[in-house]
Chain A
């Protein structure tokens, strides 16, 4: 892993354009260091650097799930877990009450998001 890339990945942790931002807020809220965050995501430290440099998924369905799946497939991480962590981090970035944001990978909003991405209705699903 290039140290230059690691440096850039650290730099963009406050830039909401990048996935680094919600990951940083999530890690901060859970008091996770890089190692622990990588474990939570199911990847190694190098992959974490690459994940941070990805674009922050569009929060609007169905884009969110599509973006998450694309990132997860690329770096071989569990899309449900990634989605849950990113949603949590995005909620923190938006100043929403983090305690209510779901962190369970099988939480309802993910299923709703997937249903919408598949073109199925999602009554009461996430907006």
Chain B
């Protein structure tokens, strides 16, 4: 994955780039980095040994709601990217560890985005939103960024619905689509549109989910995005 993906890089995130106490001093990094540049065959191992654990710890500390598997993968991505292409780091611009942290954080965002996209296209978004098992895929259910990403993905899907499909929508589906297009996130608004606002909250969520799922499946079946 390209961690330099501008669409996913650091939006809305405040990153703390301090050097952790466990890190080797910055002047130790330069010779190691130079060995990568010089194609020393043992340098990749030393580099991974020096930074992988540190990076995983830092990502975990700064992304406590994200599942460890994704954190590990993001750290690995950042390490491998630099090993493959040492020139991507410019020593004059930043400390090596700082660069790796930024890179890994961007990779983590990309991984989350990719996972969300994959799941939304399978029409199983509510499983992520509601299931207590969602953590094993994308993060814990209290991750504030997850619901936002899901809604963004839904809106993105809805935006490219062909006219032919729009014309075949029921009145309720059309209203739900309109809400999705304006990136409405409140279940209450959907419940109102669906005529189920008088039901208990859990039932509202379930019914709204059914309508959203049906709408998305219909879009996919009829050649939508």
Chain A residues at the B interface, C-beta cutoff of 8 Å: 2, 4-5, 7-8, 11-12, 15, 17-19, 50-51, 53-58, 67, 70-71, 74
The interface residues of chain B lying within 8 Å CB-to-CB of A12 are: 80
Chain B residues at the A interface, C-beta cutoff of 8 Å: 39-45, 48-49, 52-53, 56, 72, 75-76, 79-80, 83-84
Q: How far is the CA of A67 from the CA of B42 in the complex (A)?
A: 9
B41:A8 contact, CB within 8 angstroms: no
Q: How far is the CA of A12 from the CA of B44 in the complex (A)?
A: 11
The interface residues of chain B lying within 8 Å CB-to-CB of A8 are: 48, 52, 76, 79-80
Give min CB distance, B127 to chain A, whole Å.
Answer: 27
A4:B52 contact, CB within 8 angstroms: yes
* With A53-B44, A58-B39, A71-B41 already in contact, 15 other A-B pairs whose C-beta atoms are closer than 8 Å: A4-B52, A4-B72, A7-B76, A8-B52, A8-B76, A8-B79, A11-B76, A17-B83, A50-B45, A54-B41, A54-B42, A55-B39, A55-B43, A57-B41, A70-B42
Who on chain B is nearest to A67 by CB?
A: B41
| Interface secondary structure of B, over-half rule | helix
Could you show 20 A-B contacts with beta carbons less than 8 Å apart?
A2-B53, A4-B53, A4-B72, A5-B49, A7-B72, A8-B80, A17-B44, A17-B83, A19-B41, A50-B45, A50-B49, A51-B45, A53-B44, A53-B45, A55-B41, A55-B43, A55-B44, A67-B41, A70-B41, A70-B42
Q: How far is the CA of A71 from the CA of B45 in the complex (A)?
A: 10
Q: How far is the CA of A105 from the CA of B80 in the complex (A)?
A: 31
The interface residues of chain A lying within 8 Å CB-to-CB of B76 are: 7-8, 11
